[in-house]
Amino acid sequence: MTDAIQKLEKKKSLLQLDARTRTRNAAETRFKAYGIIAIAFGLLMLAILVFNIVTRGAGAYQQTFIALEVELLAGKLDKKGNRNLDDIKKVSTFGYTPLLSNALEAKVAELGIETDLKAKKMVGILSKSAAAKVRDYVLNNPNKIGETVGFEFLASSRVDGYLKGRVSRDSIGNDKNISPAQLDLVDALKAEDSLAKHFNMSFITGSDASDARPEAAGMGTSMIGSFFMMLVVLVLALPIGVAASIYLEEFAPKNWITDIIEVNISNLAAVPSIVFGILGLAVFINYMHLPNSAPLVGGLVLTLMTLPTIIISTRASLKAVPPSIRDAALGVGASKMQSVFHHVLPLAAPGILTGTIIGLAQALGETAPLLLIGMVGFIASNPPDSIATGLLSPNSAMPAQIYEWAKRADPAFYERAWGGIIILLVFLVTMNTIAVILRRRFERRW
């Protein structure tokens, strides 16, 4: 004690800090700085992540196209000359490739570009989907055979990557799909403005494509798959979740059974999602023999996964309705059930809706359980034509499609995976914004 007093006496002024106070203040500043650094680190990571997604994914929305005038030679496409659709169908896409090479050769000659490439090699700068595009056109318009029709074809993914700076002359050393001579041709075509990059709608509306033609792959079909899954989740999880919360919040007696249910729900909320996938595989597919890869099964699994989230948020909003509402209803002669369904539930509806939307957003981004029930590893090509096929025929989902592209180990597919993430995040941001607006607009404080 005396030491401390003596120390204090040595100090000349209160405004002058002694050594110990300085250390303590320095420690204070450091401690505060750690906090700021931690938050800055978190926000920096978020910024890097978003920057990465936007810069790497934006490329998927721009695609290189080549405009060509293709002469639909009657001699190749309809040898019998009777315009019979069945005969025309017999010509496979291989039969259309010479037409493309003719068209490309004519274009190169017309522009006066010199190249050593044979016409057959030149076609390599076009997407492998180009021949199929012409074939589809011919099958829909058989009367056009013999005429010259203008098409806009996708360039192959390597050419597209070259123009986007993803592929360089150094990086194609061992690439069988493209040669430096072909890139020379691309450069020349670009100088003549015959090659253009523009917005690619088919990435948003189209379906997945095989490994050989990343330039034609799109998210459309998997979006439909996700939509049907969300439909199942909404139809099942909302009523079941609300019913369960009403029971637990309004009717359940305080006993061990209720306790078990409550502990169960909070534990289910923390069970790893892949475990729900195993459950879905074992129960819905192996036991009930529901079809593999079907959005119905995906929806069921995601329902079980989302239920705890919806129950927890619904219970919170039921709890927020003041007891005076219930008392008033009971006081004018309503039964307990009527007081809940006629008065408490409508007042809690905005909160329930908000929780449901957040649960749906969570389910929309979930991937792991979908891997186990087979929603990856195949090419979902045709959009479903009715609700039943939409639910039961194999399809993919947005996150599963992104995973599928990430696995293909081709930079062209990586670009599409990032592009797909942008679409997925746009959905998530929209849903969360709606939830926030609902909460701000309708939430009542009692």
Which position among 425, 434, 438, 439 is part of the footprint of other proteins (CB under 8 A)?
A: 425
- List CB contacts of 71: < 8 A, sequence separation 6 or more: 99, 102, 103, 147, 148
Task: Out of 98, 291, 365, 394, point to the residue binding other proteins (CB under 8 A).
Answer: 365
> How distant, in Å, are the alpha carbons of 248, 327, 328, 349 from that of 335?
18, 11, 11, 20
Q: What number of H helices and E strands is found in the chain?
A: 21, 3
Amino acid at 425: L
The window from 91-99, 378-386, 423-431, 438-446 that contacts other proteins (CB under 8 A) reads 423-431
Q: Should residue 235 be labelled a site residue for other proteins when binding is judged by CB under 8 A?
A: no
By CB under 8 A, tell whether 35 contacts other proteins.
yes
| Min dist. Cβ of residue 370 to other proteins (A) | 10
36 touches other proteins (CB under 8 A): yes
Residue spans of alpha helices (H) in 247-397: 256-268, 273-279, 295-320, 323-331, 336-339, 345-364, 368-372, 387-392
Minimal distance in Å, beta carbon 35 to other proteins?
Answer: 3
Residues 76-105 that bind other proteins (CB under 8 A): none
Site map (CB under 8 A) of other proteins, residues 381-420, x = contact: ------------------x--xx--x-------x--xx--
Q: Per CB under 8 A, does 208 bind other proteins?
A: no
Smallest gap from residue 444 Cβ to other proteins (A): 21
Tokens of 103: 């068209």
Member of 154, 217, 311, 380 binding other proteins (CB under 8 A): 311
Radius of gyration, CA atoms only, the chain: 32
Q: Specify the amino acid at residue 212.
A: A
Is residue 218 close enough to count as binding other proteins by CB under 8 A? no
Instruction: Point out which span in 12-20, 190-198, 264-272, 385-393 binds other proteins (CB under 8 A).
Output: 264-272
Q: Per rule CB under 8 A, is residue 345 in the interface with other proteins?
A: no
Q: In the numeric block, which tokens belong to residue 444?
A: 């009542």
Q: Are 423 and 219 in contact (CB under 8 A)?
A: yes
Nearer to other proteins among residue 8 and residue 288 (C-beta): 288
Nearer to other proteins, 108 or 372 (CB): 372
Q: Is 25 in the site for other proteins (CB under 8 A)?
A: yes
Residue listed under structure tokens 């017999």:
90
C-alpha distance from residue 230 to each of 301, 375, 391, 435 (Å): 11, 15, 11, 16
Residue 220 CA to residue 2 CA, distance in Å, equals 81
CB atoms within 10 A of CB 49: 10
> Given the complex with other proteins, which of 1 and 270 has the nearer CB atom?
270
Q: Which stretch binds other proteins (CB under 8 A): 75-83, 210-218, 270-278, 347-355?
A: 270-278
- Interacting span for other proteins (CB under 8 A) from 120-128, 148-156, 168-176, 365-373: 365-373
Residues 21 and 28: their CA atoms lie apart, in Å, by 10
**Residue count at the site for other proteins (CB under 8 A)?**
87
- Looking at the Cβ atoms of 30 and 445, the one nearer to other proteins is 30
CB of 344 vs other proteins, minimal distance in Å: 13
Query: CA 307, 263, 369 angle in degrees (round to 5)?
Result: 40
Residue 361 binding other proteins, by CB under 8 A? yes
Told to check if 267 binds other proteins by CB under 8 A, we report yes
